Amino acid sequence: MPLSRVSPQQYQQQLDRKAERIREQFADLDAPELEVHSSPPLAFRMRAEFRIWHEGDDLFYAMFRPDDPKTPVRTDHFPIAHERIQKAMGALLDALRPNAQLRRKLFQVEFLASLSGELLITLIYHRALDDHWQQAASILADELGALIIGRSRKQKLVLSRDYIIETLPLASASYHYRQYEQGFTQPNARVNIQMINWACAATQDCGGGDLLELYCGNGNFTLPLAKHYREVIATEVAKSSIRAALHNCELNRVENVRFIRLAAEEVCEALDGVRVFRRLKDLPRALADYNFSTVFVDPPRAGLDPSTEQLVQRFDNILYISCNPQTLHSNLLRITRTHRLQKLAIFDQFPYTDHIECGALLTRRR
């Protein structure tokens, strides 16, 4: 996103245009009144990455325009990043410039911050890292009050730990999340809080019972939603996400959630008894014997494939979080043959871009 598009004075107008676009797009689904959730206009991104550009004795952060990917754009300020990242950017460069051990063949820096105040910085190199680098990086970590990781080809040096702890103050309680370096996390923490609160409120009247969640990630939605259900079965294919989800479940003392590494199509096979999965052996009963009143999906940009579309239509209540309104609309054109769209919301995760996150609640037609 070009920083020239960052204009806090015009933020509300940009969000209004997004909202109007969604209203028009979903009008053919007899959509309810659209709920609009805004972002802070500045300092909203919890992640940022930059190329490091070397010019003589100087070095600076660089970004690249899509239409000119070879010309670096010097980036001295990044106002959409969280304050913790903005503060660290200048301090990091000041520490790198006179330090040959830390700056040599450094080509990229990645930042991951939390609302709770932690910061993880990954320094990526075009050379092997040794004990001398590790000693210099340890001093840097103390100076910045940050966690430092060094990466190069086939090498990862973790000085302390490779994750931060995020704390989200939700409407019901505060939840703590272990967020791993280079793992997926929601980029806009304050909007993420609104998304979780909306999901919890939307499902309060869904009849309790059990919850089946597909694409659960690190348990971002899973753990707060668990309060509203007797038992939760949450599935995900990425091993790193399952590892984080298990830690987060323990961290928050949530005892009614089971995380299973299954793809969406495998869930369908397990429910129908087509295949027996060893990964389900620790469940107290067969997947088909749970009383699932609700299914929750948060798929990638491609949306739900045809088999998963058919799977979710088995359930009385469908909660759908989408990062792509086009694929959401396409899915809902078919899902609304059996279910009615009860709630529709947008969440502005990415201000000053065309992207928008959506939430939909559907209930079975009677």
The catalytic site residues sit at 323, 357
Q: What is the DSSP code (8-state) at residue 278?
A: G
C-alpha to C-alpha distance for 50 and 47, rounded to whole angstroms? 11
Are 350 and 188 spatial neighbours (Cβ–Cβ below 8 Å)? yes
Are 36 and 15 spatial neighbours (Cβ–Cβ below 8 Å)? yes
58 burial (CB, 10 Å; 0-12 / 13-18 / 19+) is exposed
Both structure tokens of 186 = 């929601």
DSSP result, 35-82: EEE---SSS-BSEEEEEEEEETTEEEEEEEETTEEEEEEE-S--TTB-
- The dihedral region occupied by 219, where left means phi > 0, alpha psi between -120 and 50, and beta the remainder, is left
SS3 292: strand
Does an H or E element contain 234, and which?
strand 232-235
C-alpha to C-alpha distance for 166 and 115, rounded to whole angstroms? 6
E strand intervals along 143-231: 147-152, 155-158, 163-169, 174-180, 210-214
Radius of gyration of the chain (CA): 22
Are 178 and 247 spatial neighbours (Cβ–Cβ below 8 Å)? yes
C-alpha to C-alpha distance for 119 and 244, rounded to whole angstroms? 18
Are 144 and 119 spatial neighbours (Cβ–Cβ below 8 Å)? yes
**Where would I find the H helices in the chain?**
11-25, 83-96, 100-103, 131-144, 189-202, 222-225, 239-251, 264-271, 306-312, 325-335
